[in-house]
């Protein structure tokens, strides 16, 4: 059955790109509500911003959602990946600023609070999207595909010049708790040579060595080094799960990304929903429910993997 959080969860921090202090409240919601942001600092006009693929406005280095009134919220991908990876289907997300707090640069602060108490079970079945045929979106920089699979899977490949990252590949069966065990604590990353360029363009104003992995050639500048040898590709997978969550339902299929980013994944969803016969919506039986990301996830799995 569908789920929501059991109580209001509060997160405070700064936006990675805006540098603004923000408070976010993750609130329980009824069945079939889905995931929706509400800008509590907006006093006039429509403050509701649905977490949907067709509400994405292309933005560098993050995922930005904009409603029909032009009200936006950005850097939503880590929170959305935590919700999907913990099996939360419905939530009202209240935020008093334009950007989700970056916290430690990963999804684990969200995961810890979401899983601290059992989720509330609701009285409606979960609907999933089953991929029926190959779908692809490609650019000169990279590509992504969705292909049929009996279980939700994700494969990713990255290739960076900096030796601290280099070439990394990873493939994961995303069923039941794997996000919590393997991906949720992997942090966003950047190259030190890009930091000043980003700030000159009004980005990364809230970035620091405490909320991002910064690399310089073969060196990792962030205190404590890497959490995983392949933390970079794990974080790209974390991002991809958050962006795929904008489909509005768990996806039963194999996502494959090659040097893919937010825009490529969103465009892949656009192609999916524009291609007749590429998917079907299924009401999940108990057997299907057990293979979805987050079903049965618990904090003990994260602690055991840490």
Catalytic annotation present for 262: yes
Q: Which of 17, 89, 254, 262 is catalytic?
A: 262
pLDDT at 297: 79
Tell me how far apart the alpha carbons of residues 230 and 169 are, in angstroms, rounded to a whole number.
8
DSSP 1: -
pLDDT at 135: 98
Q: Please name which of 229, 227, 254, 226 lies closest in space to residue 240, comparing C-alpha atoms.
A: 254
3-state helix, strand, coil in the chain (%, to 5): 25, 30, 45
Tell me how far apart the alpha carbons of residues 14 and 9 are, in angstroms, rounded to a whole number.
17
pLDDT at 165: 93
pTM assigned to the model = 0.94
Ramachandran angles phi, psi of 205, nearest 5°: -65, -25
Point out the residues of the chain with pLDDT beneath 70: 196-207, 301-306
Please tell me whether residue 127 adopts helix, strand or coil conformation. strand
pLDDT at 299: 75
pLDDT at 302: 63
Kind plus residue range of the DSSP H or E element containing 169: strand 167-173
pLDDT at 306: 54
Give strand ranges (E) for 31-84: 35-39, 48-50, 56-57, 64-66, 72-74
**Domains of the chain by start residue, with CATH:** 3-305 (3.30.1700.10)
DSSP assignment of 202-271, as one string? Answer: T--TT--TTTSEEEETTEE-STT--SSTTHHHHHHHHHHHHHHGGGSS-EESEEEEES--HHHHHHHHHH
Q: Are 136 and 296 in contact (CB under 8 A)?
A: no
pLDDT at 212: 85
How many other C-beta atoms can be found within 10 angstroms of the C-beta atom of residue 218? 10
pLDDT at 203: 63
């Amino acid at each position: 059955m569908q789920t929501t959080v059991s109580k209001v969860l509060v997160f405070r921090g700064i936006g990675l790109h805006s540098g603004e202090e923000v408070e976010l409240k993750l609130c329980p919601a009824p069945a079939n509500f889905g995931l929706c942001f509400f800008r509590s600092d907006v006093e006039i006009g429509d403050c509701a911003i649905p977490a949907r693929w067709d509400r994405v406005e292309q933005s560098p280095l993050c995922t930005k959602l904009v409603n029909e009134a032009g009200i936006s919220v950005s850097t939503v991908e880590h929170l959305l990946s935590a919700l999907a990876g913990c099996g939360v289907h419905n939530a009202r997300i209240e935020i008093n600023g334009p950007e989700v707090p970056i916290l430690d640069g990963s999804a684990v602060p969200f995961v810890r609070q979401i899983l601290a108490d059992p989720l509330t079970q609701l009285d409606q079945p979960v609907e999933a999207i089953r991929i029926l045929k190959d779908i692809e979106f490609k650019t000169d920089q990279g590509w992504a595909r969705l292909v049929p699979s009996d279980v939700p899977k994700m494969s990713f490949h990255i290739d960076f010049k900096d030796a601290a990252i280099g070439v990394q590949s990873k493939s994961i069966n995303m069923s039941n708790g794997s996000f919590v065990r393997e991906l949720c604590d992997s942090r966003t990353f950047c190259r030190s040579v890009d930091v000043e360029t980003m700030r000159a363009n009004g980005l990364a104003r809230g970035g620091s060595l405490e909320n991002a992995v910064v690399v310089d050639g073969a060196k990792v500048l962030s205190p404590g080094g890497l959490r995983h040898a392949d933390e970079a590709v794990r974080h790209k997978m974390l991002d991809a799960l958050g962006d795929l969550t904008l489909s509005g339902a768990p996806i039963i299929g194999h996502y494959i990304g090659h040097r893919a980013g937010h825009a490529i994944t969103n465009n892949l969803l656009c192609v999916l929903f524009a291609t007749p016969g590429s998917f079907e919506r299924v009401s999940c039986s108990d057997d299907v429910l057990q293979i979805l990301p987050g079903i049965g996830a618990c904090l003990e799995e994260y602690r055991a993997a840490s």
